[in-house]
Amino acid sequence: MAGDAVTLVEVGPRDGFQSVGPFIPTARKLELIRALYAAGVRRMEATSFVSNSAVPQMADAAEVLSFANSLPGLDAAALVPTVRQAERALAAGARHLVFVVSVSEAHNQSNVRRSCAESLEEYARIVGLLPVGVKLRLSLSTSFDCPYDGPVAEAATLAMLRRVVGIAPGAEIAPADTTGRATPGQVAGLFREAAVQLPQVQRWAFHAHDTYGMGAANCLAAWNAGVQVFDASVSGLGGCPFAPGATGNVATEDLFWMFAGMGVASGIDLSALVAVADDIAKLPGAQTGGRVRDALNARACLLAT
Amino acid sequence: MAGDAVTLVEVGPRDGFQSVGPFIPTARKLELIRALYAAGVRRMEATSFVSNSAVPQMADAAEVLSFANSLPGLDAAALVPTVRQAERALAAGARHLVFVVSVSEAHNQSNVRRSCAESLEEYARIVGLLPVGVKLRLSLSTSFDCPYDGPVAEAATLAMLRRVVGIAPGAEIAPADTTGRATPGQVAGLFREAAVQLPQVQRWAFHAHDTYGMGAANCLAAWNAGVQVFDASVSGLGGCPFAPGATGNVATEDLFWMFAGMGVASGIDLSALVAVADDIAKLPGAQTGGRVRDALNARACLLAT
């Protein structure tokens, strides 16, 4: 498959920043988004429109999205959990919405305070009001494992996939390994079976977490199963302030490293990306992950001596 | 491939301990080896017979090997770089020798102060004096990349593989990703080509480092190419005291997690293994890696609150 291209969706400004406790000044967010863009990032989950009281870090969503949309050629998406938030995002100029629903009821209740059925109703209403030209992605949380209910059966995930694809067959579909507990056989198995059962889906994506060190291996398994769009967070920013040792999304630079080594282009400049990752690692409250950044910095340090 | 078995070779007591600066008291080493054995480890690189002045941590090799050999059913190997050290190991009762040579001259010189050709002569002499019943493994350092010479061409590695297999066709052969810079396509490519060119080799093994976060992904690629023996270090112990950020072997618990999730048995008890990993992480001077240990400990901490 060497020579194929992969799309790395930079989710640091959304999934990463939302894990940081202290508010990151909006101007700093815009600088980091500009630097990611300069490093070659052309697809990004830039922010989320959610309850400001529940997630104060995202209170500047409209300003952040507006800036990201000003960067030529950047496909900037905004995550929304409800119709009301989708309307806010569209009013702010959103060109790409990401709707999130979980396979497991417990996680959906905790995440968006609704049953899965209620979320699906919201999703259908959003699809109905979506202006022509606005892109849509469906991110399916807890597609493998739920922090409350434990392992999620493949059959349950496939059942939910049939429902969301029924609502919007044209949306990009992104099963997420929310807890990072999935292993490569499960990941490949789900994507292979989903492609068979839902051939109408034009684009599958995978959202990996590296909490159990499986981020790169699971992305490799998804790639081998035909997936070409991968979420990743620069510096591996993420984790949970209440769970020491929990880590975030797979690091963008680690996925870059893997795919570049396989001859698969992603359009990203590694040294520029690592420079941004180093800046992000210095944010107060940031918990970072991944290996490539440390390894390259250690090597630079060795070569300098 | 679910249902197949995998052999995890625990190299923590050799590759891990040798990276620890302060001398680990011999009695502590024996306790840790006993605990690994109790966790289900049945194959181990227990020590190395090397220059005591160059690697003082391994000065107690004879005592450590003798203890490991006393544990019923444990296949304990000793790494040796020369005939003289092989003789020391055999005098200490070694039943399994690991000979190491590099593909790249610069690394071989740095590692064992010999040219590759001189190392191959030593290897041939060891093969000639090997008592019946003593097992042999050949570990091939810098099979993908050299810390001094950079990327190693697959053709060079295959040429060296032909030479070592010519000397001892019955040995287990373990290409090593010494710097951790290999990516899954290279790993799968080498093992696939080596199996075609050298069908007489009965057993291939892979020695991964996780320095660039590719440990699990590279082992997955090797597994998909037919490899069933993997070196790993409990707690990911390793790294280099002179290279901040450099990490060691892929963590045994991370590989266990991946293979167990794929339905592949390794005979190890995860919670007992993580308890040993926690003890090893407390050794003065220990640099650990991997994710599963932190993730499980964080989860235990969360579930307790």
Closest Cα in chain B to A259:
B183
Please name the residue of chain A whose CA is at the shortest distance from the CA of residue B263: A185
Average pLDDT over residues B82-93: 98
Which residue of chain A comes nearest to B254, CA vs CA? Answer: A213
> In whole angstroms, what is the distance from residue B170 CA to residue B183 CA?
28
Q: Tell me which residues of B are annotated as active site.
A: 240
Distance CA(B231)–CA(A69), nearest Å, equals 48
DSSP assignment, residue B137?
Answer: E
CA distance B136 to B95: 9
A3 touches chain B (CB under 8 A): no
> Looking at residue B303, what is its pLDDT?
56
Q: What is the mean pLDDT of residues B186-212?
A: 97
Using an 8 Å CB-CB cutoff, list chain A residues near B298: 243-246
For the record, the structure tokens of A210 come out as 């590296």
Measured between alpha carbons, how far is A234 from A232 in angstroms, rounded to an integer?
7
Residue B116: other Cβ atoms inside 10 A: 18
Query: For residues A219 and A225, what is the distance between their CA atoms, to the nearest angstrom?
Result: 10
Residues of chain A with C-beta less than 8 angstroms from the C-beta of B263: 185
Q: Which residue on chain B is closest to A215 by alpha carbon? A: B217
pLDDT at B39 > cutoff 50? yes
Q: Considering its fold, how many domains does chain A have in total?
A: 1
Q: Tell me whether residue B2 is in a domain.
A: no
Q: What pTM was computed for the model?
A: 0.94
Is A182's Cβ below 8 Å from some Cβ in B?
yes
The verdict on residue B1 lying in a domain is no
Looking at the domain assignment, is residue A132 inside a domain?
yes
Average pLDDT along chain A: 94
d(CA A151, CA A148): 9
Per-residue confidence band for A305, with pLDDT thresholds at 50, 70 and 90: very low
Tell me, what's the pLDDT at B2?
46
Per residue in A215-236, pLDDT tens? 999 999 999 999 999 999 999 9
The stretches of B70-115 forming alpha helices (DSSP H) are: 83-91, 105-112
A291 and chain B in contact, CB less than 8 A: yes
Closest CA to B54 of B85, B13, B12, B8: B85
- Determine, for residues A262 and B185 on separate chains, whether the beta-carbon distance falls below 8 Å: yes
Within a domain: A283: yes
- Whether B183 and A292 lie within 8 Å, measured CB to CB: no
Q: Show residues of chain A in contact with B181, CB under 8 Å.
A: 261
Confidence band of B1 (pLDDT split at 50, 70, 90):
very low
User: What is the pLDDT confidence band of residue A2, given thresholds at 50, 70 and 90?
Assistant: very low
Whole-number Cα distances in Å, A276 to A293, B23, B148, B178: 10, 39, 28, 28
Structural domain of A216: 7-303
Assigned token pair, A285: 């409250």
Looking only at the bridges linking them, the beta strands covering A150-151 and A145-146 are antiparallel
| C-alpha separations of A62 from A68, A93, A196 in Å | 10, 8, 39
B221 at A interface, C-beta within 8 A: yes
Burial B131-151 (b: 16+ CB within 10 A, else e): eeeeebbbbbbbbbbbbeeee
B243 touches A at CB < 8 Å: yes
Amino acid residing at B177: D
Do A292 and B213 make contact, defined as CB atoms within 8 angstroms? yes
pLDDT single digits (tens) A41-74: 999 999 999 999 989 999 999 999 999 999 999 9
Which candidate from B182, B247, B295 shows the least CB-CB separation from A180?
A: B295
Contact A211 B290 (CB under 8 A): no
d(CA A249, CA B187): 25
CA distance A300 to chain B (A): 10
Between CA B198 and CA B241 the distance in angstroms is 38
Q: Can you give the pLDDT at residue B245?
A: 55
- CATH number of the CATH domain containing B209: 3.20.20.70
Does B292 lie at the interface with A, CB-CB under 8 angstroms? yes
Asked whether B145 and B183 are in contact (CB, 8 A), the reply is: no
Give how far B245 is from chain A: nearest CA, Å. 5
CB contact under 8 A, B247 and A295: yes
B-facing residues of A in 222-241 (CB < 8 A) are 224
Select the residue from B1, B177, B220 to test the A interface by mutation, using most A Cβ atoms within 10 A: B220
CB contact under 8 A, B217 and A213: no
Residue B97 and residue B90: Cα distance in Å, rounded? 8
Helix H segments across A151-269?
154-167, 184-197, 215-224, 252-261
Q: B132-152 pLDDT, tens per residue?
A: 999 999 999 999 999 999 999
In a domain, A1, yes or no: no
Any domain includes A122: yes
- A217 touching chain B per CB within 8 A: yes
Residue at token pair 């694809």: A165
| pLDDT, averaged across chain B | 94
B218's CB contacts (< 8 A; 6+ apart) are B177, B182, B183, B184, B187, B206, B208, B250
C-alpha torsion sign, points B158, B14, A183, B180? negative
For residue B101 the two structure tokens come to 């040579």
CB of A247 less than 8 A from some CB of B: yes
CA distance B77 to chain A (A): 28
Distances (CA, A) of B263 to A64, B227, B254, B256: 44, 16, 14, 10
Q: Is A240 a catalytic residue?
A: yes
Distances in Å between the Cα of B175 and the Cα atoms of A256, B104, B143, B257 are 24, 13, 6, 23
Top residue of B144, B152, B206, B212 to mutate, by most chain A CBs within 10 Å, is B212
Going by their DSSP bridges, the two strands A75-80 and A172-175 should be labelled as unpaired
Mean pLDDT computed over B257-277: 96
What residues of A are in contact with residue B217 (Cβ under 8 Å)? Answer: 216-217, 219-220, 258
Which ipTM value was assigned to this complex? 0.92
Q: Quick: pLDDT tens for B66-83.
A: 999 999 999 999 999 999
Cross-chain Cβ contact B220/A215 below 8 Å: no
> Averaged over A140-169, what is the pLDDT?
97
Amino acid identity of residue A23, one-letter, is: F
Give the C-alpha separation, A221 to A189, whole Å.
9
CA-nearest residue to B262 within chain A is A185
Please say whether the beta carbons of B78 and B98 come within 8 A.
yes
